[in-house]
C-alpha cells in the first residue's frame, strides 16, 4: 500500500498546456489519466490496448533490464499525442512503423507524439525500445520492484508495471500478453499463463510465456531467479505450474505444503464460482522481504513470510478466489475494490467452514461483535473506502460481513446462484459495485439498495437491529474467536507489516 497525494485539479490544467496542431483541430492529446478518482494519473485516455508483446533480457547481477514492447491498441478519439505509464529509459518509439517523438512527464507519464495524428477508431501498433535498472527508479517516492538474492520480482498493487513495461496502467484496460525473457543459463523467468517454449543460446535461456485471456496490468507478473518448478494437473483438469525459490530456508516446507494444494483448491472453488477461467493455475514463492501475497493472474505471488508460522492454505484460497473475483471479473474503478477483497475473504470463510474451523455465520458474528461502535473500523465504507483505505481491514472483514448479510437476505439458493453466476455474467470484463447490486437484485428478485447501503456505504456500525435482521447478532452472548481467524487475517493488505492482498 503506497500513499500519495495527487491534486485532481492539476490534471485538467496539464492537458490544456499541450498544443493542439493547427492542421488538425479535432485532434487533441489523450488524457494523462484514464479517469479514476482515486489515482488521477493512472492509465491514460484516447486508446484501448488489446495485446502486449514484451521481449526482455534481464541480468540478475546488475538488475539491468532491456526490452522491446510491442503494443497493439485502437484509438478511441482523434489523437495528436498519447501517454503510456512507464519509468525506465526509452531509446526509441515507433507508431505504425514511423519514429515518434517522446518525452517523460509528471511522475510516470511517457508522452508520445506520432509523426501523423491518429484518427479515432483505427488500429495502432506502438513499439517502445527501453532499458534501465528498475531498482533505481521511483515515482511518488516509492519503488515496487523487489530485488531478491538471485533476481527480482514485479508483483504489487495497484502499481507494478511501471518498472518493467510501458502500459495503459489501469484495470479497466485489459489485454492479452506474450512475455519472453532471456536470463543467464541456470536462472528461470516466471510469468503469467502457459510456458510456450524455452531456448538456450550463448549462455542465455529465453522463457516465453503466454496469457491468452484478458489481464489487467497490475495482475501481470515477472519473477527472475533460481526456482524449483513443479507441474501437475488438477483432478478437474486444470494444469498447475508452481515455482519455489531455491533459498527459502526454513519456510520451504510450509510454502510447498500450502501452494501444492493449488489444484485441489481450484477444483473446490469451481464448485462455488463456476469453471476456472484461465488456461493454467499456480503460484510462486520468491525469496523477497515483502510480507504479502497477490492474485497475479493464473500465477499467484506469495511472500515467504506468509508461511513463516507454518502452512497457510487459507491464503491460497484467498488468492485463488481472486482468479474469479478480481482477475476474470476486474474492477471498473479502484473504488470497487470490495468486489475483489470482500469475496476473496468470504471464500476463506467458506473454507473455514469446510475445514470445521468456524462457520461463515460464526465468522460474521465475530467480526460484528469484536469491533465496538466507536472503532474506526466502522468509518470505512467497503463500497467506496478511499485511496488511503483501499486495503484497510474493513474492506476485507466488513466486506465479507456484507456478503453474509446478503446471503441471509436472499437465501442460500439465490445467494449461491449469484456467487456462481457473476463471473459468467462479466467473464473477462470489468464491473462495479453498482453492477453487482443490480445483478443480485435481478437473480434474487429482491430490492437490495437498503442492504447495500447499510453494510457497504454506512460510515458507522450498523445497528443491532440491522444485525439481527441479518441474523448476524446474537443477543447477549460473547462471541468466541473462530479457529480459522488468524490465518484469514494474514491475507489482509492493511497491516503495517505489509501482509497479503
Q: Which residues pair with 177 in a beta bridge?
A: 52, 211
Using the minimum distance from each CB to Zn ion, give the nearer residue, 109 or 159: 159
Judged on CB neighbours under 10 Å (0-12, 13-18, 19+), 249 is: exposed
Using the minimum distance from each CB to Zn ion, give the nearer residue, 344 or 380: 344
Kindly calculate the radius of gyration of the chain based on its CA atoms and give it in whole angstroms: 23
Binders of Zn ion among 21-80, rule CB under 5 A? none
Binding mask 325-354 for Zn ion (x = CB under 5 A): ----------------x--x----------
Mode of pairing for the β-strands spanning 89-95 and 123-132: antiparallel
Angle (CA) 345 426 364, round 5°: 20
Q: Which residue is nearest to Zn ion (CB)?
A: 344
Half-sphere exposure of 86 (CA within 13 A, CB side): 28
Smallest gap from Cβ 454 to Zn ion, in A, equals 23
User: How many residues at the interface with Zn ion, by CB under 5 A?
Assistant: 3
Using the minimum distance from each CB to Zn ion, give the nearer residue, 335 or 501: 501
Smallest gap from Cβ 498 to Zn ion, in A, equals 13
Query: Is 219 a residue that touches Zn ion (CB under 5 A)?
Result: no
Smallest gap from Cβ 269 to Zn ion, in A, equals 14
**CA pair distance 16, 83, nearest whole angstrom:** 15
Q: Are 128 and 68 in contact (CB under 8 A)?
A: yes
Using the minimum distance from each CB to Zn ion, give the nearer residue, 77 or 303: 303
Exposed e or buried b per residue across 277-303, where buried means at least 16 C-beta atoms within 10 angstroms of its C-beta: bbebbbbbbbbbebbbbbbbbbbbbbb
Smallest gap from Cβ 490 to Zn ion, in A, equals 11
Phi/psi at 20 (5° precision): -100, 125
**CA pair distance 486, 310, nearest whole angstrom:** 12
Residues with Cβ within 8 Å of 162's Cβ and at least 6 positions away in sequence, in order, are 85, 86, 87, 108, 137, 139, 169
Using the minimum distance from each CB to Zn ion, give the nearer residue, 341 or 397: 341
Query: Is 501 a residue that touches Zn ion (CB under 5 A)?
Result: yes
Query: Is 320 a residue that touches Zn ion (CB under 5 A)?
Result: no
Mode of pairing for the β-strands spanning 194-201 and 204-215: antiparallel
Tell me which stretch binds Zn ion (CB under 5 A): 28-36, 136-144, 300-308, 493-501. 493-501
Smallest gap from Cβ 198 to Zn ion, in A, equals 31
Using the minimum distance from each CB to Zn ion, give the nearer residue, 108 or 501: 501
Question: Nearest CA to 326 among 313, 312, 343?
Answer: 343
Using the minimum distance from each CB to Zn ion, give the nearer residue, 78 or 341: 341
Smallest gap from Cβ 501 to Zn ion, in A, equals 5
Using the minimum distance from each CB to Zn ion, give the nearer residue, 344 or 431: 344
Smallest gap from Cβ 479 to Zn ion, in A, equals 24
Q: Which residues bind Zn ion (CB under 5 A)?
A: 341, 344, 501
Amino acid at each position: 500500500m503506497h500513499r500519495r497525494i495527487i491534486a485532481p485539479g492539476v490534471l485538467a490544467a496539464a492537458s490544456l498546456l499541450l498544443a493542439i496542431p493547427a492542421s488538425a483541430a479535432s485532434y487533441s492529446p489523450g488524457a494523462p489519466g484514464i479517469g479514476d478518482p482515486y489515482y488521477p494519473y493512472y492509465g491514460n485516455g484516447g486508446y484501448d490496448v488489446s495485446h502486449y508483446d514484451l521481449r526482455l533480457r534481464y541480468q540478475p547481477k546488475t538488475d539491468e533490464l532491456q526490452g522491446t514492447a510491442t503494443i497493439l491498441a485502437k484509438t478511441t478519439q482523434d489523437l495528436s499525442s498519447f501517454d503510456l505509464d512507464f519509468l525506465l529509459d526509452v531509446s526509441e518509439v515507433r507508431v505504425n512503423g514511423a519514429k515518434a517523438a517522446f518525452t517523460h512527464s509528471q511522475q510516470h507519464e511517457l508522452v508520445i507524439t506520432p509523426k501523423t495524428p491518429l484518427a479515432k477508431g483505427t488500429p495502432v501498433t506502438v513499439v517502445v525500445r527501453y532499458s534501465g535498472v528498475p531498482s533505481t527508479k521511483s515515482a511518488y517516492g516509492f519503488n515496487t520492484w523487489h530485488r531478491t538474492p538471485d533476481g527480482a520480482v514485479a508483483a504489487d498493487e495497484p502499481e507494478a508495471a511501471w518498472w518493467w513495461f510501458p502500459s495503459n496502467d489501469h484495470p479497466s484496460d485489459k489485454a492479452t500478453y506474450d512475455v519472453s525473457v532471456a536470463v543467464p543459463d541456470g536462472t528461470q523467468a516466471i510469468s503469467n499463463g502457459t510456458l510456450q517454449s524455452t531456448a538456450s543460446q550463448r549462455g542465455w535461456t529465453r522463457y516465453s510465456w503466454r496469457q491468452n485471456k484478458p489481464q489487467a496490468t497490475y495482475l501481470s507478473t515477472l519473477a527472475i531467479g533460481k526456482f524449483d518448478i513443479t507441474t501437475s494437473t488438477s483432478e478437474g483438469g486444470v494444469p498447475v505450474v508452481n515455482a519455489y525459490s531455491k533459498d527459502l530456508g526454513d519456510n520451504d516446507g510450509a510454502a510447498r505444503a500450502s501452494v501444492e494444494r493449488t489444484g485441489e483448491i481450484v477444483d473446490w472453488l469451481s464448485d462455488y464460482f463456476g469453471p476456472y477461467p484461465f488456461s493454467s493455475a499456480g503460484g510462486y514463492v520468491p525469496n523477497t522481504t515483502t510480507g504479502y501475497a497477490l492474485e497475479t493472474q493464473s500465477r499467484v505471488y506469495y511472500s515467504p513470510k506468509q508461511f513463516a508460522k507454518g502452512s497457510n492454505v487459507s491464503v491460497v484460497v484467498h488468492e485463488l478466489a481472486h482468479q474469479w473475483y478480481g482477475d476474470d471479473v476486474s474492477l471498473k474503478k479502484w473504488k470497487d475494490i470490495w468486489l475483489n477483497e470482500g469475496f476473496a475473504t468470504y471464500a476463506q470463510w467458506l473454507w473455514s467452514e469446510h475445514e470445521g474451523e468456524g462457520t461463515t455465520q460464526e465468522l460474521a458474528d465475530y467480526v460484528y461483535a469484536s469491533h465496538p461502535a466507536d472503532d474506526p473500523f466502522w468509518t470505512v465504507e467497503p463500497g467506496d473506502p478511499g485511496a488511503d483505505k483501499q486495503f484497510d481491514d474493513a474492506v476485507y472483514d466488513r466486506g465479507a460481513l456484507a456478503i453474509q448479510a446478503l446471503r441471509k437476505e436472499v437465501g442460500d439458493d439465490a445467494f449461491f446462484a449469484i456467487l456462481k453466476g457473476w463471473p459468467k455474467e462479466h467473464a473477462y470484463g470489468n464491473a462495479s459495485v453498482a453492477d453487482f447490486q443490480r445483478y443480485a437484485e435481478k437473480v434474487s428478485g429482491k430490492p437490495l439498495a437498503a442492504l447495500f447501503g447499510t453494510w457497504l456505504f454506512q460510515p458507522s456500525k450498523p445497528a443491532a437491529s440491522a444485525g439481527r435482521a441479518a441474523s448476524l447478532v446474537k443477543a447477549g452472548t460473547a462471541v468466541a474467536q473462530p479457529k480459522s481467524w488468524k490465518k484469514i487475517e494474514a491475507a489482509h493488505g492493511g497491516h503495517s507489516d505489509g501482509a497479503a492482498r
